[in-house]
Amino acid sequence: MTAKVAGSRPPTRPRARPGVGRLIDRWLLPLYTLAIVAYLILPVLVMILFSFNDPTGRSNLVFRNFSFDAWLNPLGEPCLDKAVINSLIVALGATLVSTILGTLIGLALVRYGFRGRGATNMLIFLPMSTPEVVLGASLLTMFIATTRLPFVPEGLLFPLNLRTILIAHVMFCISYVVVTVKARLQNFPRHLEEAAMDLGANEWTTFWKVTFPLILPGVVAAALLAFSLSIDDYVITALTSGRTDTFPLFIYAAQLRGIPVQVNVIGTIIFLTAVMFVVITTLWQRRQAIRDFTPQRQIES
């Protein structure tokens, strides 16, 4: 048998040259990310640029002269003001109703076990997975069929108007609210609720003092998502609106004769408002996280 040489080391494998990995980390991934961000933001930048176009032309397809005229009169186009107001009414109403109902449904699905819980989970995902054309056509059939039933009271009839648009938007917005709130509740610290009840709080006080403040960031995110989905919906709105005009329907009708500059102004305002709310919500959530998870300073005696 051969004795091992003292102090000998096992042969090491030659290290791979880090040139390729360093090149990917330093250049390829940042350039790829920058290209994707540019691809996503380019249409928005074009919309903002053409909102400063000269509104005297017939259409807004060619940039002519830089002008603030459209910004000084954003609702100057005929019928645009009514369409924008209708869209805001539907979006705000659908956001309010779907956020309340979706939050309660999300709490029930995560916290409680009841008969039909699995079927309810499946039904929640149906509006998200169903094509909008099919969903809109089904709602149109339901509304028309309801108006033709002889035994339905006149107060329960559904003529196609702003009310039918609101009902349709609430239906598909609830699904997104439920999914968002459920994601917030998955890792919820239940021991905080138990501690509140041990200290004498009832269920109602525990909900408003402990549960609701902790899930509020998820509720706000769900409300913003519901508002965004509602205000720009076209397919379902077109099939359930009747003669009621909304902002997306106005754009589709206007593109046949030339989209006015005011449309880009309204779109820019909506985009900047959404970005502002997202920034405020993000900063607020970060502040809440710092306040909740930073250990308290010891009071010097």
Structure tokens at 12: 């090491």
Q: Do the Cβ atoms of 106 and 177 come closer than 8 Å?
A: yes
CA gap 189, 184 in Å, rounded: 11
Contacts of residues 121-128 at CB distance under 8 Å and 24 or more positions apart, as own/partner, are 124/174, 124/175, 124/178, 124/179, 125/175, 125/179, 126/175, 127/171, 127/172, 127/174, 127/175, 128/172, 128/175, 128/176, 128/179
Residue 161 lies in a domain: yes
DSSP state of 5: P
In this prediction, residue 19 carries a pLDDT of 62
Q: What is the pLDDT of residue 12?
A: 57
Closest CA to 88 of 31, 191, 169, 201: 169
> Could you give the number of structural domains in the chain?
1
* Single-letter amino acid, residue 11: P
Phi first, then psi, for residue 148 (nearest 5°) are: -100, 0
Tell me, yes or no, whether 24 lies in a domain: no
230 lies in some domain: yes
Token pair for residue 146?
A: 């309801």
The pLDDT assigned to 156 comes to 52
Q: pLDDT value at position 223?
A: 92
Task: Please check whether residue 102 is in contact with residue 227, taking contact to mean a CB–CB distance below 8 angstroms.
Answer: no
Q: Please give the pLDDT value at position 146.
A: 66
- The span from the CA of 236 to the CA of 136, in Å, is 4
Nearest-angstrom CA–CA distance, 206 and 220:
20
Six-digit token string for 42: 């380019």
pLDDT confidence of residue 36:
92
Which pLDDT belongs to residue 299? 40
Residue 201 lies in a domain: yes
Torsion of CA 105, 174, 148, 238, to 10 degrees: 180
Q: Output the DSSP codes for 148-188.
A: T-TTS-GGG---SSHHHHHHHHHHHHHHHHHHHHHHHHTT-
User: Which CATH number goes with the domain that contains 221?
Assistant: 1.10.3720.10
Domain extent at residue 216 = 78-259
126, part of any domain: yes
Stretches where the chain sits below pLDDT 70 are: 1-21, 23-25, 146-158, 288-289, 291-301
Residues 6 or more apart whose Cβ sits within 8 Å of residue 124: 105, 109, 174, 175, 178, 179
Q: How many CB atoms lie within 10 A of CB 132?
A: 16
> How many angstroms separate the first and last alpha carbons of the chain?
73
Q: Give me the torsion for CA of 278, 280, 282, 287, rounded to 10°.
A: -170
Prediction pTM value: 0.78
- Tokens 């509720």 belong to 219
Residue 3 phi/psi, 5-degree rounding, is: -80, 145
Q: Would residue 87 count as lying in a domain?
A: yes
**Residue 64 lies inside a defined structural domain of this protein:** no
Residue 288 is assigned to a structural domain of this protein: no
